[in-house]
Structure 1
Amino acid sequence: MIEWNDYLIILAIARNKSLYKAARALGVAVSTVMRRIDQIEGRAGVTLFQKAETGHVPTRAGRLLISKAEEMEVLAQAAEHSLQSEISAGQNKVRISASEVIAPFFVARHLPKIREKCSNIDISLTVSDQSPSRTAEEFDISLWPSTPSNEDLFGRKLTRVKWALFGTKQSESTSEELSGRTGNVVSLFGRDGAEDIIPACSGLIDVSAPSISTNSLIAAASLAASGGVSAYLPCVLGRNWPGLRQLTLAADHQIGELWAIYRKNAAPSPQIRTTLDALVESAASDESLFLGT
């Protein structure tokens, strides 16, 4: 008989295509994975994986068990989600996750309005840059810059998000007039969609200045506010940061939307629906700030 823990071993090998990587993913020794798969194949009386140049490839029997294991995994996750929703409903609590920018400069700023509409709901706000598809069990609502990538998730678009160049200059001159006078622009690394800031700021950068880079938008805003450099930032951040001025017109960006992501089975929850409505209303009232107009 193949047990659920056996299916976890099978799934780990199938997804990692390596006994060593499967062991690492499961947090066990590779010898344990080797022994367990030998035992599973022995009990089943078939070979489930074959060694190939590309790694461990499932046989026909292996693919059959992998398919069934994935179905079982979906059911197990659905059961867990239902349980978590029931617990959350009983506690009347909504768990929200948002980025380092959206958490303080959108959610926290509108907290009085949100609390007014959700007066009987306990709200927890966690700063996280993890995709909702990875944290669906941890949070009830994730504020994220794209549509749901997981079919088990729903999403409500809150607003568009435009970006602009920000610095400490008092001028509202055109891009041509600012050219050569903005100093260097802080570059961002390790952030999806942020690598195009240099082309976006073409003509505004002092290329002779030493480069400054960071992986944090908050740090970029702080660096720009210190003077001598500028930063390409979401308008909701730059226009809220003390001492910063918007130096260019707001423009569309690859990271250009804000969505509220939640689980399908959690949609009927009254407290989640109420919180979503409050977030939608707050985003609508902040449209000019998000669009930099």
Structure 2
Amino acid sequence: MQDKYKWDDLRLAQAIGEMGSLTGAARSLQIDHSTAFRRLQALEARLGAHLFNRARDGYVPTPAGEEVIAAAAQILDALGELERRVAGEALSPSGVVRLTLPDTLMTTVAPLLQAFHEEYPAIVVETAIDNAFFRLSKRDADVALRPAASAPEELAGRRISIVGTALYASEDYLSGRGKDLALDAHDWLCPDDSLSQSRSARWIASQIPAERIVHKANSLLALSVAAGAGLGVAALPCYLGDPDPGLCRLSDPVPAMETELWLLVHPDLRHAARVRALLDFLWEGLQKKRNLLEGYCSDASN
């Protein structure tokens, strides 16, 4: 193994296989393209085998490459399971906990993280903001806070509350238009294709003519900023829209856009002291914010 492979080699081969390109693999591993290229060349030289064919539309694994990718997946999965089990045996509430959540929730969660740090100064929370669902089984993160229809079967989860979504616009946008126009008389801000499966995106697609959509974004936080700038009407989680002084709510929470908020953890880690401490702290803190999350009040302190 030492002569021919390194852990980073395996991760690179697996990433190229998953992403289909060297650029995508480099981005996912947070290295530059030239480093990834040199490492791939060095790996192929050590093995004496060509692992990928460079096509116009990406990197296609050769038979040798397919074998390396398959072996890498098995080895890295086994290593990840070992790391989880060892981490799960930790008894002292100290160390690092990786928390992933979407950008929209950071304003709501940040005060809880500050209070958590005061109570558990030996635990360092690393926050990964990402609107895609991180794979906890791959140790991208230890704990996830996610709006979702249900918890993935392979994860341990606690349902915190429903998440209400309502319609918002700025005072500047509404001046001269009013709040009572028909839906298709407004300019609309919409999630882009990367969020097309979200309930708000599906609702907009079913209710709003395409010609009335004036702006799209891959982030609900970006849509809230655009709405605050007067660009149009946006469907936003109430926990994001209600505390924003630059936005006016135009509707009650829309049932068709309702989802749930889940606190998720890999089963191997849920009994680790540092992870358990964060899970319990977030659970208790977010329970106190249920009215805000569900859209029953506009006071961000509730």
Q: TM range, normalised to the smaller chain?
A: 0.5 to 0.7
Correspondence for 2:120: 120
SS of the equivalent of 2:119 reads coil
Correspondence 1:73 to 2:79: no
Correspondence for 1:198: 204
8 Å CA contact 1:188–1:195 kept in 2: the answer is: yes
Q: Unpaired segments of 5 or more residues in structure 1?
A: none
2:278 to 265, 275, 280: 275
1:217 to 205, 216, 220: 220
Correspondence 1:103 to 2:106: yes
AA partner of residue 232 (structure 2): V
Distance verdict in 2 for CA 1:252–1:3, change over 3 Å: farther
**% same residue:** 23
Correspondence for 1:189: 192
Distance verdict in 2 for CA 1:14–1:198, change over 3 Å: closer
Partners of 2:238 and 2:23 lie apart in 1 by 45
Correspondence 1:288 to 2:291: yes
Partners of 1:92 and 1:30 lie apart in 2 by 34
Aligned length: 275
SS of the equivalent of 2:268 reads helix
- Cα deviations across residues 19-58 of structure 1 (Å, max 9, x unaligned)? 998899896676875775576478xxxx99999xx94464
AA partner of residue 198 (structure 1): I
2:135 to 133, 136, 150: 133
Partners of 1:181 and 1:49 lie apart in 2 by 51
Partners of 2:245 and 2:98 lie apart in 1 by 29
Task: Map 1:27-46; keep pairs closer than 5 Å.
Answer: 33=40, 36-37=43-44, 40=47
Q: Unpaired segments of 5 or more residues in structure 2?
A: 297-302
Max Rg structure: 1
Partners of 1:18 and 1:217 lie apart in 2 by 28
1:257 to 257, 260, 263: 260
Q: CA deviation at 1:242?
A: 1.2
Partners of 2:23 and 2:246 lie apart in 1 by 52
Q: TM-score, normalised by structure 1?
A: 0.66
**RMSD across aligned C-alpha pairs, in angstroms?**
4.8
8 Å CA contact 1:41–1:48 kept in 2: the answer is: no
Distance verdict in 2 for CA 1:37–1:283, change over 3 Å: same
AA partner of residue 229 (structure 1): G
Q: CA deviation at 1:233?
A: 0.5
Q: Report the more deviating stretch, 126-135 or 238-247.
A: 126-135
Distance verdict in 2 for CA 1:88–1:225, change over 3 Å: farther
- Cα deviations across residues 85-108 of structure 1 (Å, max 9, x unaligned)? 678957355443322211112x12
AA partner of residue 254 (structure 2): A
- Cα deviations across residues 234-260 of structure 1 (Å, max 9, x unaligned)? 111111211423212312456822222
- Cα deviations across residues 132-158 of structure 1 (Å, max 9, x unaligned)? 21795464322123356694x433322
